[in-house]
Amino acid sequence: MTDLLALIHWVTLHGLAAMLGLVIYVTASHTLHQRRHPSAAIAWVVALVLLPYVALPLYILFGNRKLRNDRQADRLPQYATQTAGIPGAPIARAQQLAAAMQLPCASSYEQLNIHEHGSQALQVLRNMIDGATRTLDVCTFIFGRDALGDEIAERLKRRARDGVQVRLLVDGLGVYLSGLPNLKGLSAAGVRTALFVPPLRSSLQGRTNLRNHRKMAIADGAWLWCGGRELAAEYFEGDSTSARGKTPWVDLSFDLRGALARQAQQRFAQDWAFATQGPRPDAALSADADPQAGTAKAQLIASGPDQADDTVYTLLVSGFFTSRKRILAVTPYFVPDTTLLMSLSLAARRGIVVDLVMPEKSNHLLADLARHRALRDLTAAGARVWFLPRMIHAKAVVIDDEIALVGSANLDQRSLFLNYELLVAFYDAMDIRRFAQWIERQRDASVAYRAQPPGLAREVAEGLLLWLAFQM
């Protein structure tokens, strides 16, 4: 009888804990307008029912996906009704969709340089830092304590001593991933530094799982450096002196000048204000003063908790569903949700040429283990998957001859639904072709992926991994 009463008592407590967890989940999702993907919602509900003692604290700490009534959620003025092209010219489908999501309109740019090699990217970054005369804003997820990070730190300190206003924004979790940089030394030299939502010291509760993965540097509001590269040695030339023996990865970045750089500076200012809890910038993201100035147009695409929509995800799904000729994509990690995978697979089944380039072995074992289910479905639909023998960290998607999306977002659910990301959508046909050619060169250096039928144990393991690591 005693054992039975104990069991009933335990079941009752478990049920109450599960009910409490579900009430908190439903209430928070409703009041905070947490539009969660169905797979993630199911994962949280199941976890709260089966393991409420574990899942509920995790949800309180990590469960927020979108910001509401936060300082950063107050949008900058947008330009949904403006078109940034020549009057009378047709608006690209991607531009129409971006306008519907109230993103800033396309702006002009010039002097686009695509950094195919780490040495080229580093030299441009050096020139930008050394050439800044008034302001220098740098945002990164990782700031390495290695040869590259130490060099960039010294250059930033030197510019600050010269009177340039230098701001460095590093993600509060990413700062620990490649050796802790000497932020105090930077501050002492006059560099203004800030950590984006440090897990242990932030007053922004429930934001720990929302990381700033954006990478950009802007000099004088006129010169933008952007892409997939973090400020650590492996993303550029490597570091043979490092204890980790860092070898260079294949990555992609670019720089340009013009109105788009001014928009990027304002995007940085918003992130800086959120991280420092300081005053919001007064200036607005602006379109070109002259809508006919320049022929090359691009659009700054910010994605993350500070956006009402999942902007990058929406653009990708829409672009894949409506593609007409080909899709070229490169990503280090491929863990898509069902809809994104379906849009790619259906494109391949429609006869669209789909090429996906990935590293044979990435730096994240879990992502490598979780990707095979999606890759099997994709190749079964007729898409071509290519494995590069080296680690490739680039993030770029080219759809037909209409758009090239290049920046920081990976094709995985963390990047698309949780992280703060930044891409540039290029609409100029010549520049789209240049990005496509770069992806093609990586494809030509790769080997074709051959799907292997999984055993029962592997299928179960993949499903559990996807549920636990990528859908919550």
> Average pLDDT, stretch 247-252?
96
- Report the distance separating Cα 307 and Cα 419, nearest Å: 11
pLDDT at position 47, please?
56
The C-alpha atoms of residue 464 and residue 209 are separated, in whole angstroms, by 20
Taking alpha carbons only, the member of 326, 324, 329 closest to residue 443 is: 329
Output the six-digit token pair for 23: 């009430």
Q: What is d(CA 370, CA 231) in angstroms, rounded to the nearest whole number?
A: 27
Lowest mean pLDDT among 96-110, 278-292, 353-367: 278-292
pLDDT of 292 higher than 80 = no
Specify the long-range contacts of residues 319-324, CB closer than 8 Å, at least 24 apart.
319/93, 319/94, 319/397, 319/399, 319/402, 319/403, 320/344, 320/346, 320/347, 320/399, 321/346, 321/347, 322/93, 323/347, 323/352, 323/399, 323/400, 324/352, 324/400
pLDDT tens digits along 38-87:
555 555 445 555 555 555 455 555 556 555 544 444 444 444 444 444 33
The pTM score is 0.82
Token pair of 370, please? Answer: 């979780």
Q: Which residues pair with 246 in a beta bridge?
A: 239
Residue 149 has pLDDT above 60, yes or no: yes
Tokens 């990707």 correspond to 371
Confidence of residue 459 (pLDDT cuts 50, 70, 90): low
**10 or 128, higher pLDDT:** 128
C-alpha to C-alpha distances, 222 to 108, 123, 265, 404, 412, nearest whole angstrom: 12, 18, 9, 22, 32
pLDDT digits (tens, 9 = 90+) for 151-208: 999 999 999 999 999 999 999 999 999 888 999 999 999 999 999 999 877 666 556 7
Tokens of 415: 């990047």
Start-to-end Cα distance in the chain: 40
Pairwise CA distance, residues 288 & 104, whole Å: 11
- Please name the residues in contact with 430: beta carbons below 8 A apart, sequence gap of 6 or more: none
